[in-house]
């Protein structure tokens, strides 16, 4: 999500408005402190014009994160 937001040059506030959530919630999702509900995932996908499943794919960098179970 962070890469998609950055590619569009959206601030946390702009993204939050498009997703229908608070900016702090966008930050929490991007930092991994919270997991969005399915409804929020769908809202994010609509805003980015991607399929929801594309948001659920783990990036190679994330797969190497400490504590990741494989």
Q: Residue 62: what pLDDT?
A: 52
- CATH code of the domain covering residue 18: 1.10.260.40
Q: Tell me the C-alpha distance between 30 and 11, whole Å.
A: 12
Query: In this structure, is residue 11 part of a structural domain?
Result: yes
pTM of the model: 0.79
Domain count, the chain: 1
The verdict on residue 70 lying in a domain is no
In a domain, 33, yes or no: yes
| Per-residue confidence (pLDDT) for residue 69, from 0 to 100 | 45
The pLDDT tens digits of the residues spanning 13-48 come to: 999 999 999 999 999 999 999 999 999 999 999 999
Label residue 61 by pLDDT band (50, 70, 90): low
**Residue at token pair 């702090």:** 24
Give yes or no for a contact between 57 and 1, defined as CB atoms under 8 angstroms apart: no
Nearest of 34, 30, 33 to residue 55 by alpha carbon = 30
Domain containing 15: what range? 2-63
């Amino acid at each position: 999500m962070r890469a998609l937001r950055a590619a569009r040059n959206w601030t946390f506030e702009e993204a939050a408005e498009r997703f229908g959530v608070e900016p702090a919630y966008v930050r929490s999702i991007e930092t991994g402190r919270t997991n969005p509900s399915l409804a929020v995932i769908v809202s994010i996908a609509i805003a980015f014009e991607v399929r929801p499943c594309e948001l659920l794919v783990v990036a190679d960098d994330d797969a190497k994160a400490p504590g990741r179970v494989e």
